[in-house]
Amino acid sequence: MHLVSGMTVRCENALSKEILKANDQRLKLNNSDHFESNNNYAKVRFSTTVIVVSSLLILSFIILSNDSRFVRTQLPVNCQQSCRVQFVESIPTGLNFSAGPIHRATHEAWLDLLNKANESIHIAALYWNLNSSEYPTAEYGRHVYEQLVEAGRRGVSCRSCQIRIAQDVSKGMSDNEDSRRLAEQGLAEVRTLDFDKLLGSGVLHTKLIIVDMKNIYVGSANMDWKSLAEVKELGLYIQSCPCVAEDLHKIFKVYWHLGKDGARIPPSWPSTLDTPFNILSPMEMVWDGVQTDVFISVGYCRKSSRSPVGKLLNERNSVFCGFM
């Protein structure tokens, strides 16, 4: 069973249209992508909805019971915060674009994110493959792994930096040696989800890093050196944004619960996972000086105004999508 989740960002600024246009021009430069566009931007509203949709935002979400073992996360009452947001991307070696914006590299954003950790790191991952190759660009994966080790050691010494990893069982993809070593060295707590046992089929497809409950990466990149150097990937690096971090952490808590030995699917939602934010009541925030509405949507793959697919359908007259 797969469930789809999306982070929806509405920017009330004409600049967003120009950013999308520039990205479209760059996408068209790669003929192998067979990307076509009529460049008819007159139909794009000034209130442009940017929906970053890919495996980056495909989250497996399970209904949970009202379980006292869950600790309620108190979202800040005032979410009218000013957050720093960057697009980050991975571009394969040898693939060059002569026009369009150049975004920060994914591995650089990850290193910066992990280096800032003082209290906690929560990672949701499909599989691990950071250290498996001596290929030149595999060094990006090794650097990320080394930064995780360093963060874990800071936690061991000061007892403050907690690393938790929720991962898929990754059958046929990886032996998850990287995360196993972190756990064996006492640098991280690791739980593995097996959706075949929980639901009969499915995977945890989330790629998410939350640091200190305020800094976040959410994107398409796996914990794999190839995702950092040899595969097209796209994500958001969000800084100083506790409202978004706390809301995403609710999703992580679902995974953490279901990764316990003998875990089963409870029959109903827990009140601890309630959120005041949705399509009708988004977070009203300022992202890099732009007034922005944000909500994290989680739902089954169905046509619904509260699901990402429903959101896309509702906004189909003003949506710009680029697919990798």
Given this model, what pLDDT does residue 100 score?
74
pLDDT in tens, 94-120: 888 777 778 999 999 999 999 999 999
* CB-count burial class (<10 Å; 0-12, 13-18, 19+) for 165: buried
Q: What is the pLDDT of residues 225-276, one digit of tens each?
A: 999 999 999 999 999 999 999 999 999 998 999 999 998 888 876 888 778 8
Q: What is the pLDDT of residue 268?
A: 79
Q: Which pLDDT score, from 0 to 100, does residue 295 have? A: 81
What is the predicted pLDDT for the residue at 273? 79
Sequence spans of domains, the chain: 56-278
Is 212 a residue of the active site? yes
Active site residue 205: yes
Q: What is the pLDDT of residue 60?
A: 34
Q: Which residues pair with 121 in a beta bridge?
A: 163, 211
Low-confidence residues in the chain, pLDDT < 70 = 1-78, 80, 156-160, 269, 297-324
Which residues share a beta bridge with 129?
224
The whole-number pLDDT of residue 56 equals 35
CATH topology of domain 56-278: Endonuclease; Chain A (3.30.870)
- Catalytic site residue from 143, 207, 214, 257: 207
Which one of 212, 224, 247, 293 is the catalytic residue? 212
pLDDT value at residue 2 = 34
